[in-house]
């Protein structure tokens, strides 16, 4: 049995997405910048894809630029905006639980003279609104907070943050990589000025993402060249991946309710069963979190070990976030939430997609209730 519970790391591409990629690659290979007919066909095709991706978050096509993925969108939004608008202020604010794509972009700006503030979070990983209120000043240029946390599934109060940020005239960027396809995103309602999304977290291809930039927000490019994407992201357009992204966006919108309810079912089942069958289990994911993430600590067992035990039984999960498990040191997210070391060291992330089933969850519960007591006895 092969059970993929690591959908926050990446998702299986939908077969229709693969077809769309292959089709665009074979048949629409003209360069959208070429003047001839094949170039025009490619350009028209791009325009259509852009509109479909835009529609999936309630934006207009003019407000979307395609990038190589979430990391590039985050960097473009943060570094691009601050570079272009230096005169408007020097303070930039984010939270301690962001993805490294945001945190490292902030550190980069800090080195070049900006004053960066990293907001505290509460025990559920939610941004401390009082801390934010204290830090928001007229000098604040940009605030960046993620919609859904990749490690814990915590949902941030984006709309409240948006109004606070706009009250001091600053710009608000939201990394929505983990909420895309799990929470309905409507750019107007959310109130963010820039939003990052990525295709491969929603059954699309890797290597493509989008950045929503509200009309009127001016940014500088971080990649310079031939002037594609309105000069904001030069490089010949990755049409096959963009075609796959558009297809994934269509499917996501169409199946939204069904897949969210499937994820909720799996998550709640797993959470209830684990906490009722196994002693000393800590659920790190808060109550009202996203449907796709369940973070649980199996106290006493190092997460890497349990991860490989599960892998041996065909169940794939993550320890902390996949990106940070390559680095030494503990999860910065759980640390910021004030979790104790033994909770952090034993935490596993189960993350779901609409295709996961209760049977899979039930098998995972069986494996865990068999293996956890054995491991606890051995590892003492």
Partner 1 sequence: MERVLLVRYGEIILKGLNRPIFEDALMRNIRHRLRNEGKYKIYKSQATIYIEPAEGDDQTDRIHEKLKKIFGIVSIVVAYKTEKSMEGIYNIIPDSIGDVLKNAKTFKVEAKRSDKKFPLKSPQICEEVGGFILDNYPNLTVDVHNPEVVVHAEIRDDNAFVHTGREKGIGGMPVGTGGKAALLLSGGIDSPVAGYMIAKRGVALEAVHFFSYPYTSDRAKDKVLKLAGIVSEYVGKIKVHVVPFTEIQVQIRDKCPEEYLTLIMRRFMMAISERIARENGCDALVTGENLGQVASQTMLALGVTNDAVDMPVFRPLIGLDKNDIVEMARDIGTFDTSILPYEDCCTVFTPKRPATKPRLEKVVKYQQLLDCEKLIEEAVAGVETIIV
Residues engaged in binding partner 1 (CB under 8 A): 302, 304-305, 307-309, 311-312, 326-328, 377-380
CB of 301 to partner 1, least distance (A): 10
Closer Cβ to partner 1, 35 or 378, answer by number? 378
- Pairing state between β 293-298 and 347-351: antiparallel
Nearer to partner 1, 36 or 377 (CB): 377
Q: How many residues does the chain have?
A: 380
Compute φ and ψ for 24, nearest 5 degrees.
-65, -40
Closest distance of CB 378 from partner 1, Å: 5
Choosing from 49, 264, 323, 353, which is the catalytic residue? 323
Distance of CA 68 to the CA centre of its chain: 14
Structure token digits, residue 275: 């906490």
- Judged by CB, which is closer to partner 1: 133, or 374? 374
Q: Which residues contact 104 (CB under 8 A, 6 or more apart)?
A: none
Q: Which two three-digit tokens encode residue 53?
A: 């991706």
* Minimum distance, C-beta of residue 324 to partner 1, in the bound complex (Å): 11
Min dist CB 268 to partner 1, Å, is 28
Residues 142 and 116 sit within 8 Å (Cβ to Cβ)? no
Closest CB to partner 1 among residues 55, 313: 313
* Cβ at position 328, least distance to partner 1 in Å: 5
Q: Are 336 and 121 in contact (CB under 8 A)?
A: yes
User: Nearer to partner 1 by C-beta: 96 or 313?
Assistant: 313
CA distances to 44, 195, 280 from 360, rounded to whole Å, are: 42, 33, 23
Whether 323 sits among the annotated catalytic residues: the reply is: yes
Q: Which residues are catalytic?
A: 323
């Amino acid at each position: 049995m092969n059970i993929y519970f690591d959908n926050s790391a990446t998702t299986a591409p939908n077969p229709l997405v693969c077809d769309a990629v292959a089709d665009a690659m074979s048949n629409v290979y003209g360069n959208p910048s070429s003047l001839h007919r094949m170039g025009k066909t490619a350009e028209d095709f791009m325009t259509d894809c852009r509109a479909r991706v835009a529609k999936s978050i309630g934006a207009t096509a003019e407000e979307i630029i395609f990038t190589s993925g979430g990391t590039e969108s985050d960097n473009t939004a943060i570094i691009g905006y601050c570079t272009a608008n230096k005169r408007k202020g020097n303070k930039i604010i984010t939270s301690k639980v962001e993805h490294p794509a945001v945190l490292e972009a902030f550190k980069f700006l800090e080195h070049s003279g900006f004053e960066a503030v990293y907001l505290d979070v509460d025990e559920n990983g939610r941004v401390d609104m009082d801390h934010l209120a204290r830090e928001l000043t007229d000098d604040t240029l940009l605030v960046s907070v993620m919609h859904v946390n990749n490690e814990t599934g915590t949902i941030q109060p984006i709309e409240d943050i948006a109004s606070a940020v706009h009250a001091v005239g600053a710009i608000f960027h939201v990394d929505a990589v983990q909420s895309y396809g799990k929470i309905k995103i409507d750019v107007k309602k959310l109130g963010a000025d820039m939003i990052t999304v990525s295709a491969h977290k929603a059954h699309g291809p890797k290597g493509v993402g989008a950045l929503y930039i509200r009309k009127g927000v001016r940014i500088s490019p971080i990649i310079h060249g031939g002037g594609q994407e309105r000069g904001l992201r030069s490089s010949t357009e990755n049409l096959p991946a963009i075609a796959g992204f558009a297809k994934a966006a269509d499917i996501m919108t169409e199946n939204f309710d069904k897949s969210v309810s499937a994820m909720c079912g799996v998550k709640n089942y797993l959470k209830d069963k684990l906490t009722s069958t196994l002693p000393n289990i800590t659920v790190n994911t808060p109550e009202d979190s996203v449907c796709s993430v369940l973070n649980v600590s199996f106290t006493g067992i190092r997460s890497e070990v349990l991860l490989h035990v599960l892998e041996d039984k065909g169940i794939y999960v993550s320890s902390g976030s996949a990106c940070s498990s390559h680095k030494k040191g503990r999860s910065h997210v759980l640390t910021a939430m004030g979790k104790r070391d033994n909770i952090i060291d034993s935490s596993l992330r189960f993350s779901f997609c609409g295709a996961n089933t209760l049977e899979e969850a039930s098998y995972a519960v069986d494996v865990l209730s068999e293996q956890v007591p054995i491991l606890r006895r051995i590892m003492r």
